[in-house]
Structure 1
Amino acid sequence: MIEVESHERQDFTVNLDISSALGWFTAIYPLFFTKNDSDYLQAMIKTKESIRESPRNGIGYSYIRENKLKRLMNTNVSFGFNYLGRYLIDNSKIFLGFDNAIQLHGVPISFFDFISNKNKFPHKIKLTCWYENNILHYYFSYDSMLYNPKEIKFF
């Protein structure tokens, strides 16, 4: 099992007006794989269909995992996946903040400055990928208490 991260601006409930909300909503939900899939094309098709069948694109799973079923569910997931989408801009790395800082009123700000220091790293390893001008890019993040850069590079 891996946890898939998605970013949405959907109306996920009729009782909540999100029209004035800034940014997007992040949902994390489980995706299960079977080891018996020797046909990679069929495995990819099953994976795509599993993602499409996820109720409300995963909205609500994190709440259940953290609050309702914590004792019943295995929340020690080793691998996370985040697909950011397609970018047709000159340098999405500046936009995404992986290599450079964003300039805000002339002050460089790292992408990671927007993440609370109270935020726990939920996975041992996480793969984030995106398309920039039709080229697939990826970035590995990992728990530095468990792995070192040499191990991740080998991975």
Structure 2
Amino acid sequence: MYASMERVKQVLDERVAQLKEFITTEINGNDVKLVIKKELYASDLLKHQNRLSLPINQLETREFLTEEERKHLEKDKELEVPLLGPTLQFHDKSMMLKKWHLTSSCSYVLKTNWNDFVKVNKDVLKEHTNIHVWSFRRDKQLCFALACIDEDA
């Protein structure tokens, strides 16, 4: 049991290092921050939902948005954001980031082209897959990266 936990940690550390290295050296990104660690649920993958939910109460940091971006989202507006996939390639269609105010909580959601992203990455984006969503800046623009952290992903 202990050896398998060590292996999972090693895989995670390797994937995080590879992602950060790619963002900073290959695509000239900066300000890399872990936004959320989550397990993909069926609702994240349903075609009629077409969104990835990032519940605010589960975020690792809320400091990934500028004050201007935060105010923009509070006005029920959206931000267009590129999404780097688990294969370290940008999805060809940007996502829209929106803040949803739910009855008892709030969530950020990546939406609009989410289903296309899932389809392109169907081999690794499955129910119960553990993912990390990272934010970074590229030429001051907010971008996101999604990394699958399961050992076999």
Q: Per the shorter chain, which TM-score range?
A: under 0.3
TM-score normalized with structure 1 length: 0.25
TM-score normalized with structure 2 length: 0.25
CA radius of gyration, larger in = 1
Where is the helix percentage greater, Structure 1 or Structure 2? Answer: 2
The answer to which structure, 1 or 2, has the higher relative contact order (CA under 8 A, 6+ apart) is 2
